[in-house]
Amino acid sequence: MDLDVYLIATPTVESQHPEVMAFSARHTRGMMNPVKQAVGLYYAVRDEIRYDPYTFVLTIDGLRASHTLRAGRAWCVPKAILLAACCRSVGIPARLGYADVLNHLSTARMRQMMRSEIFYWHGYTSMYLDEQWVKATPAFNLELCRKFNLLPLEFDGRSNSLFHPFDAVGNRHMEYVRNRGEYADTPLDSMVATFRELFPELTGEGGKEIGHGADFDADVEAETQAIWHGEEKA
């Protein structure tokens, strides 16, 4: 297998960007084993970059690993891109994986805007470790999981770390409905085509962001308060 294509920098997977390299070095300091490096980078991206779907954007600039680092928050696709960039920066082959998922973690604002619980092109990262590809999903940070009573995804560098089908109390959390494959670079044209067809208001001229300038953290607080009080979802 030719792994070189999964080690090079791309416009979004900026593995040679100074900020990405510094972030990777900080979280792998003293580690020589690639598995330990991958695990350290996974937790760094999972928890230091807050999950925020209101930051949704489908442009090269908006998906760059360096942009995600500076923003400190992102949706699943740029978080997966950042993890891939970090892995490549320390010599771990990494590719970008995508799937359509039925996601039960949302806010009232997201449901009103998207009109669907299916999240298209949900992103994860696949890393080549000990002669096998291992999948990891760094999307939901630990604090968010605690608020929604979700089991945080752990990663040991040897087993796939994908979303659990149930939350901490047995309610449906996430279901995979379509695999869209794994790529060396962001399949931006294909992603834009899907969202343009299904959600033209998010991708067209003058289109809206999902949050439309709203505060995702505040909406999460409102959503979780409603859940704990047994209110129906809007």
List the domain range (segments joined by +) for residue 93: 4-228
Structural domain includes residue 234: no
Does residue 233 fall inside a structural domain? Answer: no
Closest by CA to 73, choosing from 100, 51, 90, is 51
Instruction: Count up the domains in the chain and report the number.
Output: 1
Task: Name the amino acid, one letter, at 88.
Answer: R
Q: Is the pTM of this model over 0.85?
A: yes
Residue 230 dihedral angles phi and psi, to the nearest 5°: 75, 25
Residue 21 within any structural domain of the chain:
yes
Q: What is the CATH number of the domain that holds 213?
A: 3.10.620.30
Residue 50 lies in a domain: yes
Which parts of the chain have pLDDT scores under 70?
104-105, 201-213, 226-234
Among 169, 175, 186, CA closest to 123: 186
**Average pLDDT taken over every residue of the chain:** 87
20-50 pLDDT tens trace: 999 999 999 999 999 999 999 999 999 999 9
Residue at 103 is within a domain: yes
